[in-house]
Amino acid sequence: MLLKDIDEHRKQIDYFFGEVKAFNLKNIHDRKKQLNNY
């Protein structure tokens, strides 16, 4: 039971970090586009 909970928790953490990474990559991409416009 405990192992299953830990596995579920790890999936949520991986998902969260995946979202954060995608968000950061998008921000970096947008920032580069802004710099190129100037």
SS (H, E, C) 1-38: CHHHHHHHHHHHHHHHHHHHHHHHHHHHHHHHHHHHHC
Quote the CA–CA distance of 7 and 13 in Å, as a whole number: 10
Whether the predicted pLDDT of 25 surpasses 90: yes
State yes or no: pLDDT of 38 exceeds 80.
Answer: no
What pTM does this model have? 0.58
As a whole number, mean pLDDT of residues 8-28 equals 94
CA distance 21 to 31: 15
Q: Is the pLDDT of residue 23 over 90?
A: yes
Using the predicted structure, report yes or no on whether residue 14 has a pLDDT greater than 80.
Answer: yes
For 15, the token pair is 């998902």
Please report the pLDDT score of residue 13 as a whole number.
94
Average pLDDT in the chain: 91
